[in-house]
Chains A and B, each alone.
Chain A
């Protein structure tokens, strides 16, 4: 914690901090995601900048108390702008021994460690693999350890409610949250409101809402009266850009962005999907927004989902499908059909650790080459990537815009880290959003071979405009009946053609069309120096870590510049020029080196990769160290 001032506040000292990182961890049944989420929302509404990292097991309920069953939620909140959930933890709350064991390595020396003492019984210690109770030996002495019998205290405070032992037991997360709220001087109001809404309104269990609120308050009063903590901490408001904010996760922002794209085009959105972690939430969110002219189809598999999207696109809707790596693999042939039929479809890939089923709940960026090249034959797709939870909104709008402008599929890459992570989102100004213009063909646009030259007399479905996009005539339009399909199309007429030269021409055209997108890419922004020792090129969800690392490198007087790519296929047209101004080109990625291959291929530069595949995001410290190492070479 960066202590900038201390002041006495009644009987407690109050330390003012610039930022703090808290991690809640415990068994998956302990409600850590809800707890972390509540702390985040409260802090964001208070005015901090926040960044989160939820980390949960793939199993819904791994055996209670075991190491694989540990679920964690980390939140970084600050009075300055922050870009990552933080490398190291200032306050660790461990609800059981397994949580302690798997998370203690990330707690800073001197950090606050709050444990639920009641959970440290022989059984749980054994399950976590502790030979002796760490609360009773010397192993934790470098931390400020607070052993609190949370289960017992919570139970006692709720005893007179007359509720069942199970409900009371489950409320201990709110009791814990109450303690942490007291410690950081936070208001209970937002959480009380949320609990009321969640239990009383949505689940119609007002008694549970009351119970949890009681637990929350009891925890707070415990902090106040127990004289356990010597001081409280204050993280003042951050100076964020003025405006209206809301907390948003990447998946929700993606869903909203897709709807916004469809609304800007004044079109119905048809979404076809198949459940898969971590993409399912997009389906859930969209299903809840049907009144925005949204139709959601839960299909029988991912192949069906892309195919239904193609059918909907042919029919004139904004057609979307989303999945994660394994599902995208299944969609490959369908995406090829969309490329061939030149129909707009947005395919969202919320990347996760792989290959195969891999690490379903962990993050990775290893599907980039799949997105750019992973289909049979010459099958170019527009590929763009979102950089942060809130940015998923803009990226999704951009995906819809490009798909319909160029009449071709767009792959939008996000990842588990930004999809589940949340941040305060400065609400965009609706007035400033450009409408998406779609003009369906309604008239003949060309001549048949034997035309007499008197006006247009046929519809040519594969005639192209200045963007090389073909017209979009939809079923129900008189006279424009036409057929599309996966067989090679003759230029203009769209008839089946096996002519060798036509094939070459069409392959070239489909490629040229995707390359045309370069005209839509704004000048690349560079963080830091615009020439110098090292250019760092990143893409996707590593933005926060790279941004923070760059800030630190600049403070260290390193001559570095960082660009973070939204557009990957095609690449920004000015990237080559930027690359030429730096000595080292460094490409950090959460994979074995994928963007770096594209960069080397396009620009023939000797780029160096920083690669991590642990299912975890980059730490700022490790990036800084690696980059400084490369510069010093």
Chain B
């Protein structure tokens, strides 16, 4: 086979002529820019990308990507994307969803897509609110959150997207923020890591809905707080954080605790292990509300066979074992008898 040279793409090649219609200041813009920027570095053919989404502000994403795309129906993008991948495993399929789209109406589909390990990159824009329907609380909204539909405060216990993804056996689970003014801008790196993972890759992105839930993640994105409230996960490295890198996270019996590096040696901190799901789950429970830094980066990454590969392999094996079926064979495949003239 002759190697056809890949065109050199730039971010611009992944734009469309459609006007982007998110509210000015919406975190979605930053994510769109990051994705457009990362794709040229991945060395995949542009025509092989398919962006699939559900419904929500975030789900308008495919219209703004100069690739193939399907803007589906509310919550069902994982199923649509599974169909795309099943039909052609060679494609690079990305899925964009919101916290309502992916975890409320589409929770079931997301669960099964992740569990099957379909090789799809999932970007879950978590703004802890329903944006497109104008500000009702979502499954990730915090308890007590007052919205139009919860004037007295939300009484739902929120879901932790990372815990969910780990619980349903996702093979790659990561988190990052739309922007980071504290110098911890890892969005591009996480996107690349997700793209390079063979299997379902789940990325939760803290996204600011500056109209209905502004500043929900300010603690994690602003210059003066980001380094105090988030901790970067790096495989094989200790969990150190703080503007002065003077704090760490330690495992004390079965619980995680924040310690000062004045008192505790780095060697005694928790060392991140991407392959350990139990550890990843513990990390997924760390929350700002409980005074813990929130981990960003890759929580979990393991290797498992991909659904679409096995699907195709079974088809090919059947062809190999029983011979390629043609119409004549198909029609005569039962026990037949002949009626004479």
Indicate if A480 sits at the interface (CB-CB under 8 A). Answer: yes
A476 contacts which chain B residues (CB < 8 A)? 47-48, 88, 90-91
Taken residue by residue from 286 to 328, chain B's Cβ proximity to chain A (1 for < 8 Å, 0 otherwise) reads as 0000000000000000000000000110110111011111111
Contact A484 B332 (CB under 8 A): no
Indicate if A60 sits at the interface (CB-CB under 8 A). Answer: no
Indicate if A8 sits at the interface (CB-CB under 8 A). Answer: no
A293 contacts which chain B residues (CB < 8 A)? 315, 319, 324-325
Indicate if A259 sits at the interface (CB-CB under 8 A). Answer: yes
Contact A44 B337 (CB under 8 A): yes
In angstroms, how far is the closest chain A Cβ from the Cβ of B169? 14
A-binding segment of B64-72, B142-150, B174-182, B268-276? B64-72
B-binding segment of A306-314, A377-385, A539-547, A585-593? A306-314
In angstroms, how far is the closest chain B Cβ from the Cβ of A147? 36
CA distance A290 to B322 in the complex (A): 9
B326 contacts which chain A residues (CB < 8 A)? 263, 292
Indicate if A535 sits at the interface (CB-CB under 8 A). Answer: no
Contact B336 A308 (CB under 8 A): no
Contact A483 B68 (CB under 8 A): yes
Contact B337 A246 (CB under 8 A): yes
B65 contacts which chain A residues (CB < 8 A)? 483
Indicate if A559 sits at the interface (CB-CB under 8 A). Answer: no
B-binding segment of A20-28, A208-216, A237-245? A237-245
In angstroms, how far is the closest chain A Cβ from the Cβ of B84? 4
Contact A256 B330 (CB under 8 A): yes
Indicate if B83 sits at the interface (CB-CB under 8 A). Answer: yes
**Count of chain B residues near A, Cβ 8 A:** 67
* A-B pairs with beta carbons under 8 A, tally: 225
Given contacts A289-B325, A300-B112, contact A337 B73 (CB under 8 A): yes
Given contacts A291-B318, A311-B70, contact A240 B339 (CB under 8 A): yes
Contact B334 A246 (CB under 8 A): yes
B317 contacts which chain A residues (CB < 8 A)? 290
Contact B331 A485 (CB under 8 A): no
CA distance A427 to B335 in the complex (A): 12
Contact A244 B337 (CB under 8 A): yes
Task: Please indicate which of the listed interface residues A44, A317, A341, A485 has the most CB atoms of chain B within 10 Å of its own CB.
Answer: A485
Given contacts A246-B337, A334-B76, contact A291 B325 (CB under 8 A): yes
Q: Which residues of chain A from 291 to 309 have any CB-CB distance to chain B below 8 Å in the complex?
A: 291-295, 297, 299-301, 303-305, 307-309
B112 contacts which chain A residues (CB < 8 A)? 299-300, 304
Contact B338 A475 (CB under 8 A): no
Q: Which 7 A-B pairs have the closest CB atoms?
A: A311-B83, A485-B71, A308-B83, A292-B325, A307-B79, A290-B318, A315-B87
Q: Which residues of B contact A (CB under 8 A)?
A: 16, 18, 45-52, 55, 62-63, 65-73, 76, 78-88, 90-91, 108-109, 111-112, 311-312, 314-315, 317-319, 321-328, 330-341
Q: Which residues of A contact B (CB under 8 A)?
A: 41, 44-45, 47, 190, 240-248, 256, 259-260, 263-264, 268, 270, 272, 289-295, 297, 299-301, 303-305, 307-317, 319, 333-334, 336-337, 341, 427-428, 430, 433, 474-487, 495-496
Given A293-B319, A486-B55; 16 other pairs, CB 8 A cutoff: A41-B335, A242-B338, A245-B338, A291-B319, A292-B326, A295-B312, A297-B86, A309-B83, A311-B87, A314-B68, A314-B83, A427-B331, A478-B46, A481-B66, A483-B62, A485-B63
